[in-house]
Amino acid sequence: MLLFDTVFNGNDAVYKLTEDAVNSAIAQHGEDKAVGFPDTAYGLPCYNAVTGTKIKTLKDIKDAMGVVKSLMTRERRLNDAFMSGVATALCAEFIEALKYIDGATPYAEPCYGHLADAIIRELGVPLVTGDIPGVAVILGAAPTAQEGADLVKSYQEQGILVTLVGGIIDQVAEVGMKTGANVRVIPLGKDVTSVVHVVSVALRAALIFGNIQPGDAANLMKYTFERVPAFVNAFKPLDDVIVACGAGAIALGFPVVTNDMDYANGVKVPKSLIRLEDVSKFNAVSLEARDIKIKITHIDIPVSYASAFEGEIIRRGDMQVEFDGSRVDCFELVQTKEVAEIEDHKIELIGPDIDEFEVGSKHNIGFVVEVGGKKMQTDFESVIERKFHTYINGGEGIMHTGQRDMIRIRISKDAFNAGFRAKHLGEILYAKVKNDYEAVVDRCQVKIYTNPEDCKELRHGLVFNVFEKRDERLLSLTDESVDVYYSCILCQAFSPSHVCVVTPERLGLCGAVSWLDAKATNELEPEGACQIITKEGVIDEKLGAYESVNTAVNKYSMGALEKVTLYSIMEDPMTSCGCFECICGIEPMSNGVAIANREYAGATPLGMTFSEMASMTGGGVQTPGFMGHGKHFISSKKFMAAEGGLERIVWMPKELKDFVAERLNATAKEMYGIDNFTDMIGDETIAEDPETLYTFLQEKNHPALSMDPLM
């Protein structure tokens, strides 16, 4: 059977199934019944993205079926087949949406179903930095469970985000493979219609990061083709519905690799439709078809190593040993030495090894990583140190939290049984430091201390002294004390017009790029993402407006931006890409701003959720009255400085408020003489509507109420 007939038949079958399901739902609930996915600002994201229409009720879905029908042309041309594939995806979204009526939770572990907007924003940074180089969609059941698990594992070890649909979910469970968003292997669902949830991720990426307007189908598909590095692996036997879904994937630019040799007989779609009988070759062929380049850093350790393991949780019952800085002396330190003092790749363990400790016990550990190079600067030490968290977490079965002298490391029993020992922590640190900082680090050696006496002496002596000097240096770094700022365009991989301007007191909105990070990045890659902006041509110091900054953002946004201010939320605010940690927006009644963080799914006094606030702000556009930013910027003296600063903050989620409390209270005390300022700020336990919030602020005599009007 030709591809055209297969796709059209599959589309017809799904359309009829959807029509019946919608009619049944209307008969049960009525046409006015609300429908939509949770934790998204886009209603039914695929339909919204393709047509520009937001579906809210069952009647809206019934009306939308006519729009879907119009896509189901039956000419024997590839474009018609692909558009029928898109129609199939929209029908699948309708079917899936019906599962969520009345707040139902249709998916149980291990399956996820719909993925919230917040998850997509979390994926933004690793996607643009290449820590997630691609997205695999694996559909159906492999010839054997082991072959399926091996394929999934091969992608996972390369840092690929893997989504699973159908029989492959049971197969990876059968061989005992861990799944979940934290290890970047996400089972979506066992019904084929659940594949639409990864299509939804791709389309929302275009809306969130790319400033593609809903309904602009041509640019939508251009964006997914060029900027969303996804591909499909589909196992035989393929039925008409799966083939129709595959046509929809190809329409978005995602190549399909299958071992069903009868699939699409007589039709060739170069680099997009690939038949390959040997499943073991799926990985290499898929990456080549999608032009995904994997950067390989060999690390001599007995467990797998990839960014996909960074979120892995080691439970107490699964751990072999733990090093816990909250209970005993632990630390991690980078020190700059003369090159001649360093023996490259020397890894020294000073104290007992992991196999000398009792199972489940807690111990001391300290790392001193000594680096040297002609271009190495002491300012880079803390930048490298902060990467230890990511580096160590990349080992399968290794968990790292915290930084400086408040770290915790757990080694799992599985990793220990595979042969993982203390020296392998040194191998990880050596390999990653040399690879990531090769432009400034010529030699590197690692000392690992596990003797309690050594750890205590070093922590309370050398380590504390170094940290104290660094903190004094960081406190002296203000926007006024430096001659240069830095641009950062890392996120342009997804958001082509966005430019961050990073200053000592305003880190990148993703929360991951400080002024020192940007400085180091510029040293490492002079032609890379972070470029020097010399502070010249002051226009307005209060706004943070400079001629040189305007010239830079105009240049690096390819003319999309003419000017930005550094300290204002109202006048030419900085753009946002979509992967911001937080977003603040004006709350008119209280004359202040409410802040929501990505993790918060509830309502805000603005009458919007985080996702709804964010949908107005991302994509590299300027939105006066709204601003994306990092969590630590909240306690900066430059936060909204042009509009009165920190005293404008009237509400934020309690979890976020607790997180920033110490620094925010200290800044408010220094600047305004206010004690415990966070006690004056509302949260969801106090108010979720503007009227209740206003009453609370009056009781607390919040300063925002007496400030000049924001609007």
User: Are 385 and 525 members of one domain?
Assistant: no
Please report whether residue 327 resides in a domain.
yes
Average pLDDT of the chain to the nearest whole number: 92
Please report whether residue 299 resides in a domain.
no
User: Are 424 and 487 members of one domain?
Assistant: no
- What span, in angstroms and rounded, lies between the C-alpha atoms of 365 and 4? 63
- What span, in angstroms and rounded, lies between the C-alpha atoms of 638 and 450? 42
List CB contacts of 16: < 8 A, sequence separation 6 or more: none
| More confident site: 391 or 476 | 391
Ranges 28-32, 255-259, 271-275, 588-592: which has the least confidence: 271-275
End-to-end CA separation in angstroms for the chain:
64
User: Are 50 and 185 members of one domain?
Assistant: yes
Q: Work out the pLDDT band at 269, boundaries 50, 70, 90.
A: low
Please report whether residue 471 resides in a domain.
no
User: Are 278 and 404 members of one domain?
Assistant: no
Please tell me the predicted confidence (pLDDT) of residue 367: 97
User: Are 382 and 434 members of one domain?
Assistant: yes
- Which of 251, 248, 249 has the alpha carbon at shortest distance from 230? 249
DSSP code, position 551: H
- pLDDT tens digits for range 624-663: 999 999 999 999 999 999 999 999 999 999 999 999 999 9
- What span, in angstroms and rounded, lies between the C-alpha atoms of 512 and 16? 48
- pLDDT tens digits for range 78-87: 566 778 888 9
Number of domains in the chain: 3
Which CATH number is 192's domain given? 3.40.50.2030
- What span, in angstroms and rounded, lies between the C-alpha atoms of 100 and 96? 7
512-519 long-range Cβ contacts below 8 angstroms, 24+ apart: 512/125, 512/630, 513/488, 514/383, 515/477, 515/482, 515/485, 515/486, 516/379, 516/380, 516/382, 516/383, 516/477, 517/383, 518/486, 518/488, 519/379, 519/486
User: Are 435 and 502 members of one domain?
Assistant: no
Q: Work out the pLDDT band at 75, boundaries 50, 70, 90.
A: low
| More confident site: 268 or 368 | 368
Please tell me the predicted confidence (pLDDT) of residue 77: 60
Please report whether residue 395 resides in a domain.
yes
Please tell me the predicted confidence (pLDDT) of residue 1: 47
The one-letter amino acid code at 671 reads: M
Q: Work out the pLDDT band at 572, boundaries 50, 70, 90.
A: very high
Q: Domain ends where: 231, 263, 289?
A: 289
- pLDDT tens digits for range 602-618: 999 999 999 889 888 87
Please tell me the predicted confidence (pLDDT) of residue 10: 83
- pLDDT tens digits for range 529-540: 899 999 999 999
Please report whether residue 476 resides in a domain.
no
- Which of 440, 441, 425 has the alpha carbon at shortest distance from 347? 425
Please report whether residue 359 resides in a domain.
yes
Predicted confidence (pLDDT) at residue 131 exceeds the cutoff of 70: yes
Predicted confidence (pLDDT) at residue 265 exceeds the cutoff of 80: no
Ranges 72-76, 156-160, 291-295: which has the least confidence: 72-76
Q: What is the 3-state secondary structure (H, E, C) of 70-133?
A: HHCCCCCCHHHHHHHHHHHHHHHHHHHHHCCHHHCCCCCCCCCCCCCHHHHHHHHHHHHHCCCC
DSSP code, position 186: E
Q: What angle do CA 315, 317, 318 make, to 5 degrees?
A: 65
> What three-state secondary structure class fits 585?
strand
Asked if 560 and 610 touch (Cβ cutoff 8 Å), the reply is no
Helix spans in 376-451 (H): 379-386, 388-393, 413-417, 422-436
Which CATH number is 499's domain given? 3.40.1470.10
User: Are 117 and 266 members of one domain?
Assistant: yes
For 52-79, what is the mean pLDDT? 85
Predicted confidence (pLDDT) at residue 306 exceeds the cutoff of 70: yes
Looking at the chain, the whole-number percentage of residues with pLDDT higher than 90 is 74
234-251 b/e with 16+ CB inside 10 Å = b?
bbbebebbbbbbbbbbbb
Please tell me the predicted confidence (pLDDT) of residue 78: 57
Predicted confidence (pLDDT) at residue 393 exceeds the cutoff of 50: yes
Predicted confidence (pLDDT) at residue 116 exceeds the cutoff of 60: yes
pTM of the model as a whole: 0.85
Q: Which residue has the tokens 């879904």?
A: 245
Please tell me the predicted confidence (pLDDT) of residue 263: 60
Q: What angle do CA 66, 70, 75 make, to 5 degrees?
A: 150
- pLDDT tens digits for range 490-511: 888 788 889 999 999 998 888 8
- pLDDT tens digits for range 171-220: 999 999 999 998 999 999 999 999 999 999 999 999 988 889 999 999 99
Please report whether residue 262 resides in a domain.
yes
Please tell me the predicted confidence (pLDDT) of residue 260: 87
Residue 539's alpha-carbon distances to 480, 519, 549, 560, in angstroms, are 15, 25, 10, 21
C-alpha atoms less than 13 angstroms from C-alpha of 428 in its C-beta half-sphere: 27
Ranges 76-80, 273-277, 343-347, 425-429: which has the least confidence: 76-80
333-347 b/e with 16+ CB inside 10 Å = b?
bbbbeeeeebeeeeb
Predicted confidence (pLDDT) at residue 373 exceeds the cutoff of 90: yes
DSSP code, position 552: H
User: Are 608 and 693 members of one domain?
Assistant: yes
Predicted confidence (pLDDT) at residue 96 exceeds the cutoff of 60: yes
User: Are 246 and 319 members of one domain?
Assistant: no
Q: Work out the pLDDT band at 11, boundaries 50, 70, 90.
A: confident
User: Structural domain of residue 430, as residue ranges?
Assistant: 307-460
Which CATH number is 390's domain given? 3.30.1650.10
Q: Domain ends where: 223, 256, 289?
A: 289
- pLDDT tens digits for range 228-247: 999 999 999 988 888 888 88
Range with the largest mean pLDDT of 264-268, 628-632, 680-684: 680-684
Query: Dihedral sign, CA of 519, 525, 528, 534?
Result: positive
Please report whether residue 470 resides in a domain.
no
Asked if 366 and 461 touch (Cβ cutoff 8 Å), the reply is no
Asked if 540 and 515 touch (Cβ cutoff 8 Å), the reply is no
User: Are 351 and 272 members of one domain?
Assistant: no
Q: Domain ends where: 428, 460, 492?
A: 460
| More confident site: 347 or 513 | 347
List CB contacts of 661: < 8 A, sequence separation 6 or more: 678
Q: Which residue has the tokens 């990073």?
A: 502
User: Are 254 and 357 members of one domain?
Assistant: no
User: Are 399 and 538 members of one domain?
Assistant: no
- What span, in angstroms and rounded, lies between the C-alpha atoms of 623 and 182? 33
